[in-house]
Chains A and B, each alone.
Chain A
Amino acid sequence: MLTKKQLFTRGMLDISPHMLSVIPFGIICGAIGVELGFHPYLVYAMSFIIFGGASQIVFLQLLSGGASSLVAVASVGIINSRHLLYGAVLSEYLEKLSFIKKLLISYVVVDQGFAESNKFFKKNRSEEFLHYHLIGTGCTMWVCWQIATLSGIVLGSFVPEELGLKFAIPLTFIAIVVQDLKKLDHVIVMITCGLSSLLFFDAPFKSYIIISPIIALFVAALLLRLKK
């Protein structure tokens, strides 16, 4: 049985490799916000209040492009609706927590943290304080995100644009799913999602980001039926 501290540290260690892509991306996010002409305090407030990488950039780009606040807010909601799926997966492991703890832990659920903690949870179901792993991944992500966006805001885009570091984001997610390429059913689900996301890329409010997972999960349900 691992202690709370051990689990927290393990979570920190499990997510830290992803900082290789998260930190440059955070710097870019902060710098873009200021470049688009928003007040630095507002750009930073987003990292604290929304705390959601890509959705922050989209929000500012929409507003600066003349879209209404309603459209910008709706887009953030739709882009981040994928967290509903993460929550549904995690709820199984967090059900013993008190309501207040659930409310608090929810704030730090992010893509990479979900991915790494979910992998850990699947292998260590019997641990009593599992949620400390999620707190570890989430808090590491939170601290790095705040520092990265803040440095982007203060220092500007000191990461040279020619490096194309935004490309590190798809790479970080490749690292997350690549081992599942061993399983044919997962490969089919991934390709379905990927192709759908390209097909629906121009759908309003960036909704491809939730439409394609829904289609892919539908295909997963069909595959499960076929397997039986």
Chain B
Amino acid sequence: MTLTAIIFAGILTYFTRMTMIALISRDMLGEKIKAVLEYVPSAVFPAIIFPGIFINDFGTFIEMNDPKIFGALVAVIVGYFSKNIIATISAGLISYWFLIFVVFS
């Protein structure tokens, strides 16, 4: 029963991946659409970033003094200047841990 649902979810997911790659040819997208598609990373990833920072496990907003906000700000600053993915992630995590384990404990 659950396996059937997983298979359907998998097929659906595969179609979301395959449809535009396999069934759409370049000519079907006009120049204007292509110019807008340039913004896809900036238009999609904040929908993962913002809830990941500002909404907790119970689906409610965090307090304004939540350590995640500070960690995210540090990650943005370090990422901006270092251009390094590992430095960005580590800086965010370490500053977050510093607050929860050292400052707020």
A210 to B85, CA, bound (A): 25
A84 at the B interface (CB under 8 A): yes
Write the nearest CB–CB distance from A116 to chain B, whole angstroms: 9
A201 and B96 form a contact (CB under 8 A):
no
Write the nearest CB–CB distance from B90 to chain A, whole angstroms: 7
A124 at the B interface (CB under 8 A): no
A63 to B6, CA, bound (A): 11
A177 and B46 form a contact (CB under 8 A):
yes
B50 and A197 form a contact (CB under 8 A):
yes
B9 and A77 form a contact (CB under 8 A):
yes
A99 to B84, CA, bound (A): 36
A196 to B3, CA, bound (A): 34
A173 at the B interface (CB under 8 A): yes
B22 and A99 form a contact (CB under 8 A):
yes
A135 at the B interface (CB under 8 A): no
Chain B residue numbers with a CB within 8 Å of A216 are 39, 42-44, 46
A80 to B20, CA, bound (A): 13
A106 at the B interface (CB under 8 A): yes
B35 and A224 form a contact (CB under 8 A):
yes
A186 and B39 form a contact (CB under 8 A):
yes
We find that the number of chain B residues with CB closer than 8 angstroms to chain A is 69
Count contacts between A and B, CB distance < 8 Å: 271
A195 to B46, CA, bound (A): 9
Known interface pairs A91-B25, A190-B42; A17-B89 also in contact (CB < 8 Å): yes
- Measured CB to CB, the nearest residue on chain A to B100 is A164
B3 and A42 form a contact (CB under 8 A):
yes
A155 at the B interface (CB under 8 A): no
Chain A residue numbers with a CB within 8 Å of B40 are 85-86, 88-89, 118, 213, 217
A82 at the B interface (CB under 8 A): yes
A90 and B5 form a contact (CB under 8 A):
no
A190 and B48 form a contact (CB under 8 A):
no
Write the nearest CB–CB distance from A27 to chain B, whole angstroms: 15
B44 and A85 form a contact (CB under 8 A):
yes
Chain B residue numbers with a CB within 8 Å of A162 are 100
Write the nearest CB–CB distance from B11 to chain A, whole angstroms: 8
Chain B residue numbers with a CB within 8 Å of A192 are 43
B47 and A52 form a contact (CB under 8 A):
no
B36 and A221 form a contact (CB under 8 A):
yes
A-B contact pairs, 29 of them (CB 8 A): A18-B85, A20-B86, A20-B89, A49-B10, A59-B5, A59-B6, A69-B1, A69-B8, A72-B5, A73-B9, A81-B16, A86-B17, A87-B21, A88-B20, A92-B26, A99-B22, A103-B18, A118-B40, A163-B97, A171-B71, A174-B72, A174-B92, A175-B85, A193-B43, A194-B47, A202-B59, A208-B51, A216-B39, A221-B36
3 tightest A-B CB contacts, nearest first: A87-B20, A170-B52, A49-B10
Interface residues of B (CB under 8 A from A): 1-10, 12-14, 16-22, 24-26, 29, 32-55, 59, 61, 68, 71-72, 75-76, 79-80, 83-86, 88-90, 92-93, 96-97, 100
10 further A-B pairs in the complex, CB-CB below 8 A; given A46-B10, A208-B47:
A20-B86, A87-B16, A88-B20, A162-B100, A177-B41, A193-B43, A201-B51, A201-B55, A202-B59, A213-B44
